[in-house]
Structure 1
């Protein structure tokens, strides 16, 4: 059936291209697949994207179809496949079409941002800017700079610099307003949703609602999509903060209704987080427990996809570095051998030349002194032997005077495992990590944290062991226990939670593991501790 579906897709799509590929028709299929089909049936959307690729005749169409697949994989949380398709597209279009190259760089910036690899994200943002400068088309430059500044806004939002994010959005919208974008309404609605989210984080609820209203007016004319779901979710967040539970539930239901029909796990995670806040405020612990399970499942899936991508990328980078190192060593060895042979050849030539000259001088001397006595000849021979011995001695002395080279490895044998700068950098990253609640994420690993700290597992393990006085697992467990204790102390609502709920909130996979870790840190069981805390209050 799958093969038949692909064949039928190819047949109907090929009718559109019977007399050559048509940019307008291609864009219609592309837009419909992205905005409609992918929101309802992502498998069908992927088949359409594959079909578009197979019938594409030019690098631009091939790259565009690959980016359609990359975008769909991004929506369903398949990070690795999404980046792979985008990089294939980048390779095809590089040197062919700067417009699409800048779009692809912008997309990769977005992917690395979602993985919280902000340096790589910023690198692709800057790369996209450089490509845009080469376009020499003011209209297209404005259009593309709108995309770049929108991605910059996402970047600043991820870094929690909401004012900078708003400034980037203003610039993005200025570019969109002066360009001739076919999907202007959708892009503007995206910006308005982001304006709303930033103002919500700044606690300016009136502006947040005003921007959500503007976005919804544009989106009402379009099929349900992830941006509309985010707008409804934004309304719900505002009304939760304002303690208006009736309106909060209304918009939360609308967001969930769209989310159920869209295979976008990042969207689901955002909505589940809002649901948690709603049910916590409602004190509906039964529903809160259900949402916690759903959110944990989605978070684990996202974390696993991200971890797999980072792990594979790290392995690829290690292999690449190993190959480079091996090639460098091979080249250095070849250079050493060639250099040695050259020097040896020159020395041999000089010695041989000297020997020949002496031999020639000796023959002339013998001819001139033909009448000399045998004793004189012996004397000449003895002189020659003496000269040869001197030559040999000269060579030995030269060899002895050559400097002894000590390898950098020997010099560093007793040095520290890392530089002081690296050590300070990792400690600073750990301090930021401890202030966040990232350690409550279920499934966090040493390699994942090392990637977040922009270092490797060996260095991070060394820092934790030497500066924190414990191994990685005990370090994370201790952070989690202190976190949940502070929660219970500061928020009386947590007194009503069961131990199992508190365990999940802290990031533990089971109540028993939580209890074991709790007792190890506090010397008492969780139930004893919380009973004492309640009696004391």
Structure 2
């Protein structure tokens, strides 16, 4: 018991130690390249002009880790499913070149997700998941481990093993819940963990519904809706929870409420291109109208389910009833042609589901469940050898932690010193909202410009600075030239000659000096997030704002805010 607890404690501390080490590193060239496209939405091919240089750089340098990431981005931004598959195959190739088990697991998992999510080909998806699982068995990457468990749970749920699947989702849910709440994670890690949490919660709701654990399902739905709120980043997940809520309301004969939530969920589910959940949505809208004695309207939605099945050759087991209703309605209308068609469609659906079940059911038990039991047995056999290893590694960890905290203390002193220098600069100069460059005398200007026109343009620039118009989002040299009734080349030349810098540098200094001034003078701004501060001064990217702040002030905005708050607290306590 003691060894098991010690091992768990060590593992948590060990992972924390390496995450702290990684947090000290500066942003790489690859990360700078990714900033150009990482905010573009999924399935938007406009990302590729920026993504291709990233992939080319990784290929040239044989940096397979970054190459896997580049191909993964290719999957994410491709608008066509066949292109997504091609990029996933490239991911697998790059991962195999790297000899890294984690990268191989990520690559096979990605291909499995394409087969599951975009094609609903469960057989191919499970084959890829099991390959991913094989490579992830010895991983130290907890996120990757639970990703694999989640996807195996999805297959189990599809097969009807809801109790087994629910246990996998509960374990994954617990992990993602811990991760999304950690204060030392970056925004991307928090976002991914919350996505994992919401997806697990949605799958768990499905299991609860089929296990007739309706109270637990309704509770989970409320938790999910509270988590997503109105955040557009989680619109798809909100659509799933609204769908689940509509199904619950239909079950409780709350038909008008059901229609409202089912219809609200449609937009997000359509946008996500998840045709299986779209079918489910249409089915329950049809059933709701059917219960309201509006057979004509209900048939419209039941036929939409058939259209999706016809196009994709996939149907969820619970939608079998859709064809039973259509067949009964055809009998009532004495329409033998339709009755024959829907009977043929039902037989085809039964054939597909039967084929999937025959293939998947024994494979998931043999290739996953049996392996899992054998792995647990091996772990129990090895546990007696771990005590000594844990002690040795803990000693190494302790030495590493002392080194790390010494390094962090030294860095904290340097940050404090830079903050004091910046504060002195503020007190002396009151940080004007203009770049700290002298205007060049006429004789020192690099080119011959019409002096009167230059003075006129400088007055316009002064007005532009005084009115804080530099905080406009998406401001470019061309846009500013239009606003000032001049042309881009002339404006660029005046800024270069008279301000001593190019347009981008000029705009950056205006914005960063402006926000720095606000942070010094108004303590309310210290409560704002980095994203909000960036938007306040007209910078779209959080990372770009942080880098520019550091470049001009010698200190990261998070460090500046921390030191400013401490200084104000100290003054208040005097």
Give the TM-score taking structure 2 as reference length: 0.46
**Which has the greater radius of gyration?**
1
Give the TM-score taking structure 1 as reference length: 0.49
